Amino acid sequence: MKKRMLAMALLLAMAAAGRAGPLAGPGAGPGAGHEGPTASVETWGKTSDGETVQRFTLKNSHGMVLRVMSVGATITELSVPDAKGQVANVVLGADTFERYQRGYPTPAAIQGRVANRIANATFDLDGQTYKLFANNGPHTLHGGKKGFAAVVWEGEILPPAPGATTTAAVRFTYHSKDGEEHFPGNLTPSVTYTLTADDRLMLTYAATTDKATPVNLTSHAYFNLGGAGSGDILGEQLWIDADRFTPADATLIPTGALAPVKGTPLDFTEGKEDPAQAHTIGSRLAELKPMRTYDHNFVLNSGGKSLALAARLHDPKSGRTLEVLTDQPGLQLYTGDNRHPGLCLEPQHFPDAVHEPAFPNTILRPGETFTSTSIYAFSAK
């Protein structure tokens, strides 16, 4: 798998600086307001197994706030100013760890070892058949019975990269043992959340293995740009830089084909220059029979060859706009249940790639490093 050199360079630069507590410099102390970037950590609870759960908080000078807990490296809050400067949480999340323990339905967690679906919960690799746990009908979804979203990651605050004083970052690392969820290889994934002064949230992924294994990592954050309590996302407008998608069967397993979006409810190519011209999420849901919801993988025009703008989401009421940049070849749009409280824009490799040789490769081998970067850039006017 090709290395994403830009992402890796950034990751290594931050890692070289080592572990740190709250960032030093202007705005680092309590009560400092919006003077500069800050990073802090607190104990947030314990799992049923007695493991300590931490929650990390990053802030920038514009009032943007990111909170991430160590279970699933899950975003619990991402507060962003609107056009009037009013700050609201734009990612569905809960205020207490106890709420997640009771089964919070939309956690913004990291999905893996393989995000999305593997058909029939099995795959062949290097002459061996691996039988996985079927947790989505006959298929494996988001890593199996206990994927990366349900485990405790080790978090550490990172100081700014050399020469950068306007970012705050936290890195989460997990050690997935050989045979975990019946996947081969000892895999060590990490994800670094970096909050910048220009209201960008960057997710930088990395992973190494000692045995060939499939890897597909993504964030399952549900966005609602209107903010918590603002209602559904049906009026938000979406543009996606994708002329094709991967058609799937009734169980959402791709057929292997790449089909044009033109003439279908999946055509979100309008509104590239003007967000106000983009289709709203709710305008064509009735055409999506029988589900009446989006749960589709888009083939990005960039091909996953470099970091590029993949999608733009705009909320006309609050004035907030979210741009998603990624170096991944696909983007999963998921609008959830019939209440539509939020939507997911998940940069990823294609679903069931282990069974489709023509799809971009998801097999990571010893000596290689998987790296990927996705950026969520916010603005308001």
Q: What are the residue numbers of the active site? A: 220, 346
> Residue 4: exposed, middle, or buried by beta-carbon count in 10 A (0-12, 13-18, 19+)?
buried
Report residue 136 CA to chain centroid gap.
Answer: 20
Q: Which residues pair with 110 in a beta bridge?
A: 219
Residues in the chain: 381
CA distance 192 to 57: 13
CA distance 47 to 58: 23
* Nearest C-alpha neighbor of 27 from the set 137, 126, 165: 165
Would you state the torsion angle of the CA atoms of residues 278, 280, 281, 282, taken in this order, to the nearest 10 degrees?
-150
Q: Which helix (H) or strand (E) holds 274?
A: none
Would you state the torsion angle of the CA atoms of residues 46, 47, 53, 55, taken in this order, to the nearest 10 degrees?
-100
- Assigned token pair, 281: 């999420």
CA–CA–CA angle 101, 121, 289 (5° rounding): 80
Task: Judge contact between 143 and 133, C-beta under 8 A.
Answer: no
Phi, psi at 243, each rounded to 5°: -90, -10
CA distance 249 to 256: 10
Contacts of 243 (CB under 8 A, 6+ apart): 260, 261, 262, 269, 299, 301
* Nearest C-alpha neighbor of 80 from the set 200, 167, 166: 200
